[in-house]
Chain A
Amino acid sequence: GESVGLHLPTLSVQEGDNSIINCAYSNSASDYFIWYKQESGKGPQFIIDIRSNMDKRQGQRVTVLLNKTVKHLSLQIAATQPGDSAVYFCAETPGTYKYIFGTGTRLKVLA
């Protein structure tokens, strides 16, 4: 599960570098995956999503990769900026009301 918690794994990257955030999902039946960004004191903000019939999807500066064989999801952020500093977490759903949320990774962008 994900949370804006005190002891989240942290990824520190230099401004301008690329960031890769990983997520292991749990349900083989999940067919829809979402990445969220959560800044301190705010609600989760949608970044990008992907369906299980795809391996890769690109947005503006972000790419999501899905590896169903090992149940792994990754979020790549190109040219990381200070405004990208936040907690990032993944969500999965088998297409029902039930969503499973990752525990989250804190991204710190170093100037």
Chain B
Amino acid sequence: NAGVTQTPKFRILKIGQSMTLQCTQDMNHNYMYWYRQDPGMGLKLIYYSVGAGITDKGEVPNGYNVSRSTTEDFPLRLELAAPSQTSVYFCASSDRQGGKLFFGSGTQLSVL
């Protein structure tokens, strides 16, 4: 099994550009999460989903959007990139609420 797969691994955006960070998992997990990781800070939850068609905001959702049309995929959309969105983004999944989280390898995003 591949687990949680994220693409791209690296990306540089100009201010105001948009992009989608892709995340897919092959473990048939209902719960999926997007986190950002900033230096000196813990992982912060951006959005999460408890199943296909259901998404909800986390701690830091501003500037982001998500969709969950299938169990496998949970893309994260940045509409108008800002320097404050420079970070490392991780997608994670779990088979139940409050269960073991499996992480992807991350996307390092720089907004210049």
Contact = CB atoms under 8 A, between A and B. Distances in A.
B90 interface: yes
B43 A3 contact: yes
19 contacts: A1-B41, A1-B42, A2-B42, A2-B43, A3-B40, A4-B37, A32-B98, A42-B106, A43-B6, A43-B90, A43-B103, A43-B104, A44-B101, A46-B101, A46-B102, A95-B97, A95-B98, A97-B33, A97-B45
Interface in B53-112: 56, 88, 90, 97-106
Interface stretch (A12-20, A59-67, A69-77, A98-106): A98-106
A99 B37 CA distance: 14
B26 to A, nearest CB: 16
Interface of A: 1-8, 31-32, 34, 36, 41-46, 49, 89, 91, 93-103
Contacts of B44: 1
Interface string B31-53: 10100011111111100101000
Contacts of A34: 100-101
